[in-house]
Structure 1
């Protein structure tokens, strides 16, 4: 990862200090000394806060709500409040996102993220007040922007707001994918094929039923995701360090929540027990499990698409996936199912991220879980990968799938599985004998039933008509 602090535009610097001493900070940058140290300390993943705009916007919303609440309580000068609000509003509109440069994975329970936000907002507010960056006497990252807060309430609150918004985007992409499967279900409603269990012939169905099932199973995940995202509406603003509310006004929690509800448009509520809420990461665990469940279902569907399109000459070859790229550097003419393959790999990563969330949540100690940054990184990465993966699956695979109708039909006619449909009419013993003989003689079930006089051609054609084989029906003897 390139260190942003090494890329001076003018070469000019300003001097800032913190607990550990003084440091030169590039004059052009809105972040300050603590962010600079975090850049140096946490060159870990190469994925910085600005990869996730929803998180940056949520941090600005939290800081704006805090400033307005503190001003309402008479703790913050109205001019300083206005400058902070202006800075936060600009950030929510997309400005200064490139100044959020701390790695998503970091030590310190999110302090570096919180300080990155505090410093950027303070320095932009100073400019609104007519001062230069670094003149913190007039607007300080901690004394003013972080007033009545701690990383331990501001950071998780911002994360929850960001996850609520990110979840809605994820659900929107998921619903679009569901619609594409429904459309294929309609398109393939008349394509008779063999259903399979344990990779063996089972009973006939339609290709449309297969695709309708994919749509139905994914529709369940919309409800699960939204249900678990509701847990994020409970926040701990006003908890400050550990939930006791130290260094905040008694009226601050109710006021900051009211401002936050207005700013975000979300029905946020204050946790009943702030000590518990500050250390608990259960909401992240629950949501991560829902994200994992979606990934697992997408991977299973991708497995099916790969199997159904296998061949083209020596596999099932029931469907054709859109060819995306040449499949081999040595085998001419080979085209691989690369889109389902990449969705499988996304699922593996999401499953791993869920394990990370689980272990990080379990690793919490006493009044705070210091591993929230890796929880946050895992969740946002999973959401982003799933959004991209589902868009890719829909647009570069599902919408272009075609059916090999004759192949599907021939597999049904040649399948031993046809005998199951005859079981109610000729009995299990006769059906078993027909199936066994068909395997040995390589004759079709259809021909053997007629040869043995078990049913007339008219009876057999009626029983084996597509409409009678893919849904329940009254048995007539």
Structure 2
């Protein structure tokens, strides 16, 4: 019998780092250090790490690069250390080392763990650029060099502002794509008559094009509101340090750091007039979250309309055909569901919930700092990215492929009692009232009864039923 040799797994190589709580082993190949290691243990909350948010990681690196350049301008950092820190930051802004940003997005400490994760990764990469080993902090230190003239309380909020502005660009672009899709359908369906409805009851005729134009206009309006809310985020508190007094930041630092950050990001950033107020105030985030909720609510209403108008195919409204995307049932053969509007509805519900989270997190701030910006960022980031994806999905996998059942929509118009309102200026109020009463009692169509009673000739009725007469707000109808 041959003896089996059991090989023990190799122990991963580590390095020892030190903080105020004592020594701790850190993986030797990690760019993060002891502060990040403790945060990973303390906050096993969502499993979603900050490295999952490229805009935030990029913004953190931009803030650290701007700070290093400002500190060098003011004689606080020597050229070699400055160059190494700037080099590390530029690599990160280029997409490198995002996997080293490993702390959970939800964390205590007002973002300190995120800030220290950035400080440690940048410090260790900068050390490598100077030919030193990771962890040799006597040469470049996460706090003393990378975090010089900063606090989490100004570096982190500034990074969140920049990251949010960058993320909003993608959402605005996606909204424009969806707006264009609805506008194209508005042109395509410009002369397709249908009944407008209020409170789910027949109202007056309109065109399918007018209905789709409304959705495009709403998106355009919301994009404008989004741009307005983004403008508020260009005011930053970099240079405020702990509470806004600028303690440990030299004279001229705030202006220099802001100027460098403007150059790095290409954004028209400005230093807040009152840094104490700016350090504790989350009003711009609350405002933005409200606008995102507005977008979500109106987008969800649009999807409700699409689902209702396409209901059927035999026992519903049946006015629109949404492109079939997948089989709709595991038990009902041939069933196809409006899955794309449904998923957009669900994104909208999530955004509305995120708005509540942002509201409560902003309200919970106390005295000179809000400790809950990690939740604010995570909620805003989810709302922005999911709305962006939802707009693109709705445009490409639904709206672009919508067709209309023109015979069905015209049939509703011809048989609706609401049609009599459009004929009222021509046949007179009394006659219109009688037609409406008889149509309701008999179930016959308004047009049929009008012709039967000789109130209009077939030619005149056809003329009055044209979209230009029924649905254009600037039409002129004469008696005849």
TM-score normalised to the size of structure 2?
0.96
Report the counterpart of residue 110 of structure 1 in structure 2: 111
Task: Indicate if the aligned counterparts of 2:110 and 2:371 stay in contact, CA closer than 8 A.
Answer: yes
Report the counterpart of residue 478 of structure 2 in structure 1: 476
Task: Indicate if the aligned counterparts of 2:425 and 2:478 stay in contact, CA closer than 8 A.
Answer: no
Q: Within 2, Cα distance between the matches of 1:387 and 1:455?
A: 52
Task: Indicate if the aligned counterparts of 2:469 and 2:476 stay in contact, CA closer than 8 A.
Answer: no
Report the counterpart of residue 406 of structure 2 in structure 1: 405
Q: Within 1, Cα distance between the matches of 2:385 and 2:465?
A: 47
Q: Within 1, Cα distance between the matches of 2:227 and 2:291?
A: 9
Q: CA deviation at 1:466?
A: 2.6
Q: Within 1, Cα distance between the matches of 2:260 and 2:461?
A: 72
Q: CA deviation at 1:463?
A: 2.1
Q: Within 1, Cα distance between the matches of 2:448 and 2:84?
A: 86
Q: CA deviation at 1:137?
A: 0.4
RMSD of aligned Cα (Å): 1.3
Report the counterpart of residue 71 of structure 2 in structure 1: 70
Q: CA deviation at 1:190?
A: 2.0
Counterparts of residues 17-416 of structure 1 (less than 5 Å): 17-416=18-417
Q: Within 1, Cα distance between the matches of 2:84 and 2:288?
A: 36
Q: Within 2, Cα distance between the matches of 1:466 and 1:155?
A: 57
Unaligned 5+ residue runs, structure 2? 1-8
Q: CA deviation at 1:9?
A: 9.8
Q: CA deviation at 1:277?
A: 0.5
Partner of 2:117: helix, strand, or coil? Answer: helix
Q: Within 2, Cα distance between the matches of 1:173 and 1:101?
A: 29
Task: Indicate if the aligned counterparts of 2:59 and 2:159 stay in contact, CA closer than 8 A.
Answer: yes
Unaligned 5+ residue runs, structure 1? 1-7
Task: Indicate if the aligned counterparts of 1:416 and 1:444 stay in contact, CA closer than 8 A.
Answer: yes
Partner of 1:14: helix, strand, or coil? Answer: strand
Q: CA deviation at 1:435?
A: 1.4
Task: Indicate if the aligned counterparts of 1:47 and 1:103 stay in contact, CA closer than 8 A.
Answer: yes
Q: CA deviation at 1:311?
A: 0.1
Per-residue CA distance 1:318-376 (angstroms, 9 max, x = gap):
11111111111111111000000000000000011011111111111100000111011
Per-residue CA distance 1:255-298 (angstroms, 9 max, x = gap):
11111111111111110111000000011011111111111111
Q: Within 2, Cα distance between the matches of 1:284 and 1:445?
A: 54
Q: CA deviation at 1:42?
A: 1.0
Q: CA deviation at 1:451?
A: 2.7
Partner of 1:24: helix, strand, or coil? Answer: strand
Q: Within 1, Cα distance between the matches of 2:359 and 2:429?
A: 50
Greater shift, 88-97 or 66-75, is seen at 66-75
Report the counterpart of residue 420 of structure 2 in structure 1: 419
Task: Indicate if the aligned counterparts of 2:192 and 2:467 stay in contact, CA closer than 8 A.
Answer: no
Task: Indicate if the aligned counterparts of 1:9 and 1:28 stay in contact, CA closer than 8 A.
Answer: no
Report the counterpart of residue 5 of structure 1 in structure 2: none
Per-residue CA distance 1:59-112 (angstroms, 9 max, x = gap):
000000101111111111211111000000000000000001111111100001
Q: Within 1, Cα distance between the matches of 2:352 and 2:285?
A: 14
Is 1:452 the counterpart of 2:453 in the alignment? yes
Q: Within 1, Cα distance between the matches of 2:240 and 2:226?
A: 27
Q: Within 2, Cα distance between the matches of 1:466 and 1:150?
A: 64
Q: Within 2, Cα distance between the matches of 1:259 and 1:55?
A: 18
Partner of 2:24: helix, strand, or coil? Answer: strand
Greater shift, 424-433 or 273-282, is seen at 424-433
Q: CA deviation at 1:303?
A: 0.4
Pairs aligned (count): 470
Q: Within 1, Cα distance between the matches of 2:466 and 2:86?
A: 70
Q: Within 1, Cα distance between the matches of 2:61 and 2:450?
A: 75
